[in-house]
Amino acid sequence: MIQNSILESIGKTPLVRLRKVTENIKATVAAKVEYLNPGQSVKDRIAIKMIDDAEEKGLIKPGGTIIEGTSGNTGMGLALVAAVRGYNCIFTTTDKQSKEKVDLLRALGAEVKVCPTNVEPDDPESYYSVAKRLSEEIPNSYYPNQYENLSNTQAHYETTGPEIWEQTDGKITHYACGMGTGGTISGTAKYLKEQNPEIKVIGIDSVGSVYKHYFETGEFSKDEIKPYKTEGIGEDIIPANVDFDLIDEVIQVNDRQAFLMTRDLSKREGLFVGGSCGAAVSGALEYARQTELKSSDLMVIILPDSGTRYISKIYNDEWMRENNYID
């Protein structure tokens, strides 16, 4: 079958059993390999959904400009949609994101503005604030705002959840996912729990993020916010797309754990993935060992993106040594 555009190839990614990094775990552990989307990340799913919904509501017109704050992957998905449908793109990102992500966005014709990481979310220089300001200044522009736009959650409710349920023949017992904007974990969890309320949902957070403390106490504490290098998960805000009522446990993973597992997945499983994937697997396996999952259990872990974004960082021995992640 000939597809009408690259956008029709989004979704229907495979589940792959993890065999070598799962020592002493009795359960079946499978990874949903989202880097096999055309934009090499899970964010392709929300990009097309947000633009579809915006077009339907008349929020963006032909020849318009998509403006978004992104850690890179949502921007990549939006850039693909823009290329096919004739929109312009301006993306804001932070200076902690890999050079590869910025170069990829520019290769697709997007304008990229790099903003400081270590500022308050409401600071005029933050990547959130700059994106919002540009959307107000530029005519015929649309600011999807993946953090607050519930089309993000809906995309996963409509696609990722049903795919996992079908691929596991309804036998999934545990679902693990990194917590970034919240759409992937919440939309997928909502669908899965509607099919079987007993399914446990494990959110993976970064040390330095607010999510775990907020989940456990209901309090937003700025004291929890600290610098960390894992890209794409953890936050210093609570986005509208995070539904904590659907989450049963939150596990925090530090940068070193995340990056060593990322390299293990490549070398031992043949899965060439990004740092948030290593974090998700590391946290999920920690949960599996703590709770002593049984042989009858089936855990699915989302692998959000590709290692191609991190050649100069996680897969660079010199960078890893400089940051004391390897000897």
In whole angstroms, what is the distance from residue 203 CA to residue 70 CA? 20
32, 43, 200, 313: the active-site residue: 43
Q: Whole-angstrom Cα distance, residue 22 to residue 30?
A: 10
Catalytic residue check, 20: no
Cβ atoms of 45 and 128 closer than 8 Å: no
- Give the angle subtended at the CA of 209 by the CAs of 236 and 211, to the nearest 5°: 90
- CA angle in degrees (0–180, nearest 5) for 136-137-139: 90
**Could you tell me if 69 and 163 are in contact, meaning their C-beta atoms sit under 8 angstroms apart?**
no
SS3 293: coil
Q: CA-CA distance, 325 to 327, in Å (whole number)? A: 7
C-beta of residue 92 within 8 angstroms of C-beta of residue 68: yes
| Distance in angstroms (rounded) separating the CA atoms of residues 264 and 106 | 30
Q: Which residues are catalytic?
A: 43
